[in-house]
């Protein structure tokens, strides 16, 4: 039941993995010379439109960790809570339950924004910066998520 990936998913996936400096955020192995074996792993699945491209709804996981954590949802949640904090994971999960209509022009704007964020992080890598480098969602998207984080379930 895999959802089709579009260019928005591709740029988001690359950003999530570049953010992690191409290391698995579970086992720590380096995939900088083997990009295809590092995945963008969603905490709340991509069918949730509101959180599909949110920075705090994904982690970079190698094929093995992605499969293992996919089969062990409680471990996946614990791991996400360790990375982002219990409150954030709970809030993003709440936002995921409240759909967001994203207009085509907004999607295009998000794509351009994420392309710029990717270029910004890559430029920092060239200066020798290691470790995780955060990226931000477009303002309107972050505001929509923040609103939904506070909604009752
Ligand atoms: Zn791994």
* Cα 107 to middle of ligand 1, angstroms: 30
Q: Quick check: 1 pLDDT over 60? A: no
CA triplet 81, 9, 94: central angle to 5 degrees?
Answer: 35
> Cα–Cα distances in Å, from 36 out to 11, 39, 80, 114?
14, 7, 22, 20
Evaluate whether 79 touches 69 at the Cβ level (below 8 Å).
Answer: yes
Q: Rounded CA gap, 23 and 60, in Å?
A: 7
Per residue in 81-132, pLDDT (tens digit) is 999 999 999 999 999 999 999 999 999 999 999 999 999 999 999 999 999 9
Q: Where are the domains of the chain?
A: 9-149
* Cα 98 to middle of ligand 1, angstroms: 31
* Cα 68 to middle of ligand 1, angstroms: 9
- Tracing tokens 């705090």 back to the chain, one arrives at 56
* Cα 23 to middle of ligand 1, angstroms: 8
- Tracing tokens 């590092």 back to the chain, one arrives at 38
* Cα 69 to middle of ligand 1, angstroms: 10
* Four-point Cα dihedral 24, 25, 29, 34, nearest 10: 20
The reported pTM is: 0.95
Q: Quick check: 2 pLDDT over 80? A: no
Per residue in 22-61, pLDDT (tens digit) is 999 999 999 999 999 999 999 999 999 999 999 999 999 9
* Cα 26 to middle of ligand 1, angstroms: 5
* Cα 65 to middle of ligand 1, angstroms: 4
* Cα 28 to middle of ligand 1, angstroms: 6
Residue bearing the bigger pLDDT, 151 or 51 = 51
Neighbours of ion ligand 1 (CB under 5 A): 24, 26-27, 62, 65
Q: Quick check: 3 pLDDT over 60? A: yes
Residue bearing the bigger pLDDT, 153 or 65 = 65
Residue bearing the bigger pLDDT, 150 or 92 = 92
């Amino acid at each position: 039941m895999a959802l089709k990936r579009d260019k928005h998913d591709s740029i988001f996936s690359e950003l999530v993995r570049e953010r992690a400096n191409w290391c698995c955020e579970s086992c720590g192995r380096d995939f900088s010379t083997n990009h295809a074996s590092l995945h963008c792993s969603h905490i709340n699945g991509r069918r949730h439109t509101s959180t599909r491209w949110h920075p705090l709804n994904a982690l970079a996981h190698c094929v093995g960790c992605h499969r293992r954590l996919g089969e062990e949802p409680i471990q996946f949640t614990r791991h996400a809570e360790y990375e982002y904090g219990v409150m954030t994971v709970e809030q993003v999960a709440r936002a995921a339950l409240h759909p967001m209509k994203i207009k085509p022009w907004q999607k295009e704007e998000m794509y351009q924004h994420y392309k710029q964020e990717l270029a910004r992080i890559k430029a920092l890598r060239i200066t020798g910066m290691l470790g995780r480098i955060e990226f931000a969602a477009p303002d309107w998207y972050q505001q929509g998520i923040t609103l939904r984080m506070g909604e009752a379930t």
